Amino acid sequence: MKRTVSLLVCILLAAALCGCAKNVTVKRTVEGNMKTYDEMTDGSWTCDGRTYQYRLEISGRMPQAAADSSFVYLSNIEEISFEQAYKAAWVSSDSNDYFSPEDAILVEMH
């Protein structure tokens, strides 16, 4: 009897845990001027098979520029400075200034 009750409890717990999985789908697709990316129903973003937690719009003026520039990054880094953003957008000759694809990806530049 104890064994049957234990087995039943395990089956019920397994069934309850299986029902907890999120059904994440594409909410909308964005045609960025650098890359196409998706906003997901759970608030995350995807591009090139990777998932990012944040979509950052970063604006400012580069040194010696006549006008402001804007960069849109999908990122797993919560905050990116304007200097980091423009250097990582292929402005810097130092590859250490670039983001790894797991950390951030440039999807729009204006």
Sole residue written with tokens 């717990």: 13
User: Cα(71)–Cα(60) distance, rounded to whole angstroms?
Assistant: 9
Question: Which of 18-22, 44-48, 75-79 has the weakest average pLDDT?
Answer: 18-22
What's this model's pTM, rounded to 2 decimal places?
A: 0.78
Residue ranges of domains in the chain = 22-109
The confidence score (pLDDT) of residue 90 equals 82
Q: 68 φ, ψ to 5°?
A: -70, 155
Q: What is the pLDDT of residue 18?
A: 53
